[in-house]
Structure 1
């Protein structure tokens, strides 16, 4: 039995969720540039609606990326602040795995390839499969130009999901799941599994995942892929 707080700001969505002994309550807003202003007030609102206090929380999970560089840092900062203030263990949850979990919850297949728009003409992507109802990675998460994913997609027999689909340089791709973005309510399922498996711990053990740390700081004239867009 556990009470977990889940936060995500890795996309344009700003979302929070509570997993209370397996039952999920959530709030989601489309806030492309207001994550910093809205994340904590949304936490307070959700906890008030749920009728629980901060002292009743057992752990805090957050969307660790990949995704929006700024959004991930905001979620990390809030999660670490809550962790330090309340002496709670934390756990980072993959944004790409969250998309896979959402897509496979709507489909009969058991494998998903997920892509997120990484901007600068690139995509974040990874492959996952269901094991006992939970998405687990098959290989490493990656970042690169859309063409780099074509070979993997050509041979893929599972679901393809995420907004990165709209950047793929070919026609006829199934866009059914292209609107799925990471969201705390879906992360709730993954967080509950991580709690059960003892994966929550010190904040230092759960860093943000950018996949391209240095690229995020390049000057405009050093970003040829961006200039071509």
Structure 2
């Protein structure tokens, strides 16, 4: 069996998880604006001997976005450093897909259901994507996007289960969109342990990144991220 470390700091939650020989352990805390203070301590609690000393890891998964700009940078920086130090590949996982996996684990959605996964972008917009559960994993029906709530336009028909903090804008959704939402779970946040099924699936398919390829997915084109090699000397 594979051993994967998972890190997610894309929302108010900061969480880490480890899958080793089919056994999952993890730490999940709601710590708005304190991710940089808690992440390394959480990793040390999860892996007291350190990443390099562990020697049994196959890869490191991370919530690649969309999400909080600062949170995504924290995770990407940590994953780059850890992957360089331990010569491990990285496994990027969509935050929106991870959130669907969290809802599935909690029994909020089931096999075959269509899901609207949302995140509050905190600037009068939301991030969103549509998924369908197939064989216990979320399959993307649309690419991740950012939009104003009143502009959210969901093509197609049929009911959807809606999840995530973007539902705080629900009253601004179009009436036709609101009518399609059969169940709503606005307080859900993604957890690092739910990166693991998606990461294992990606690893089996060889969909990995090297450390220098680790990069957040912001959705918005105007946001840029400089990888370690591009950042220049540090003051």
1:207 paired with 2:209, answer: no
In 2: Cα distance, 1:26 partner to 1:140 partner: 29
Give the equivalent residue in structure 1 for 2:229. Answer: none
Alignment of 1:77-96 (within 5 A): 77-96=77-96
In 2: Cα distance, 1:125 partner to 1:2 partner: 31
Alignment of 1:57-136 (within 5 A): 57-105=57-105, 106=107, 107-108=109-110, 109-136=112-139
Look up the SS of the partner of 2:186 in the other structure.
coil
Question: Are 1:126 and 1:142, in contact at CA under 8 Å, matched by a contact in 2?
Answer: yes
Structure 1: 5+ residue runs without aligned partners?
217-229
TM-score with structure 1 setting the length: 0.85
Tell me by how many angstroms 1:119 deviates: 1.2
In 2: Cα distance, 1:96 partner to 1:9 partner: 13
Deviates more, 1:179-188 or 1:81-90: 179-188
Give the equivalent residue in structure 2 for 1:224. Answer: none
Tell me by how many angstroms 1:12 deviates: 0.5
Question: Are 2:19 and 2:25, in contact at CA under 8 Å, matched by a contact in 1?
Answer: yes
How many residue pairs get aligned? The number is 214
Structure 2: 5+ residue runs without aligned partners?
225-235
Look up the SS of the partner of 1:75 in the other structure.
helix
User: Could you give the per-residue CA deviations for residues 106-154 of structure 1, whole angstroms, max 9, x where no partner exists?
Assistant: 12352211110011100000011122211121121100100122x4189
TM-score with structure 2 setting the length: 0.83
In 2: Cα distance, 1:79 partner to 1:153 partner: 36
Look up the SS of the partner of 1:189 in the other structure.
helix
Query: Cα RMSD over matched residues?
Result: 2.4
In 1: Cα distance, 2:70 partner to 2:214 partner: 17
In 2: Cα distance, 1:111 partner to 1:174 partner: 10
Question: Are 2:102 and 2:194, in contact at CA under 8 Å, matched by a contact in 1?
Answer: yes
In 1: Cα distance, 2:88 partner to 2:137 partner: 24
Question: Are 2:18 and 2:26, in contact at CA under 8 Å, matched by a contact in 1?
Answer: yes
66 and 14 in structure 1: CA distance in 2 versus 1, 3 angstrom threshold: same
Question: Are 1:36 and 1:74, in contact at CA under 8 Å, matched by a contact in 2?
Answer: yes
Question: Are 2:83 and 2:89, in contact at CA under 8 Å, matched by a contact in 1?
Answer: yes
